[in-house]
Amino acid sequence: MTFDITDSKKQILENGKRPLSHGGVANLLKILTKTMENQDSSIESIAKVQYTICMQAGIYIPDEFIEDVAVALSIEKGE
């Protein structure tokens, strides 16, 4: 799975965005995740959305988050 967020990170750092409310972001992620699950979105798509929203909100999570999702999927599928 390829997901390059280098440009997004650079833009966020340049703009100096900071989250207004971590709780608000958490609630948004919860709602979006539930909605995407109801639409039968893949875990890969959900992870990308979660990661992107966190980055846009100035909440930095490790890049390995996306890689870990891909590894978990490959293990689950028996690859």
Shortest CA distance to 57 belongs to which of 35, 34, 28? Answer: 28
Integer CA distances (angstroms), 66 to 15, 21, 24, 39, 47, in order: 24, 23, 22, 20, 6
Q: Consecutive sets of 10 residues in the chain, 79 residues long: mean pLDDT of each?
A: 59 60 87 93 87 84 75 67
Q: In terms of pTM, does the model score above 0.95?
A: no
- Residue 36 has a pLDDT of 92
Q: Which two tokens stand for residue 41?
A: 């979105």
- pLDDT score, position 1: 47
Q: Is 79 helix (H, G, I), strand (E, B) or coil?
A: coil
